[in-house]
Structure 1
Amino acid sequence: MTNTAVWIQPLTEHVPGSSTRRTVHGSRCRTSQGLFAEWAASLGFPDHFSPNWDAFNDCLNETVMTARHDKAASERPQAALAVLVREAEELLADEPSGVLAIFLSVLSQSAGQDSRNPRLLLLLDAAPDRLPQVTERMAEAGFPPHPAGNS
């Protein structure tokens, strides 16, 4: 992938005020099993969620669409679901690099094709000295984040 993933942004980027924001902790997502548990709890996946990529994809899509539908009653029906990842440098740190690519691919599907109005935003929060490492890992996985300051 050569284009930036506009749906992945450093926390320094502007976040639309109408976005529904959820927070996950990268320190709890060092493995895929930890990621499944943290995202399921933070995003309110149903009790029947199974910790695997297919179920994660299904539940994430449902959560994204529900967030957008909930906003339909408000003045901004096309709001994105913004997921803030604290300690982003720890995201899938104990997994092979290919697992990060799978995760970002699933998120990319939920974000949709409209780069001007993504359905999902992934906001990366890390210490300033670690943010370059985070964006490099994302780029190596095929999803370079939208550069800071280029909204």
Structure 2
Amino acid sequence: MQIETILNNQRVTLEIVPDEMLADTLRRYGLLSVRQGCDTSCCGLCTVWIDGKPTLSCSTLAYRVSGKRVTTIEGVQGEAEEFAQMLVAEGAEQCGFCSPGFILTVLAMKHELKNPTEEQIIHYLTGNLCRCTGYMGQLRAIKKYLGVE
């Protein structure tokens, strides 16, 4: 089965099987930043944007993105690098396994929320798990990035 989508700002045709999850499709097409870590749709490692909204690709059937815009971290490298530098500056980078999904979620938050409170930031990040940090450095970096210190 073939679907057409816009993947990282390029119109593409993807070959999929009817019950294939989007995370598997994207990885098969070489987008290895899309990771899976929990098998329960609750870790956020597989986060991508579908039409600009953060979405768990491990629980989204690939055929559902037909005609839609899909963005992985490879599609927003400039923005991602800017925020990643803030993570490093705050000592919040660790192994990096969760970083692509986490960063995509933060970038989506910047586009969606204006002047969020700390509580709103924490709520927005619910579902993005990092096994290496205590989240305080990440929270400092996010607040600096969003300009809400």
TM-score (norm. length: structure 2):
0.29
Q: Specify the structure having the higher radius of gyration (Cα).
A: 2
Greater relative CO (CA pairs within 8 A, separation 6+): 1
TM-score (norm. length: structure 1):
0.28
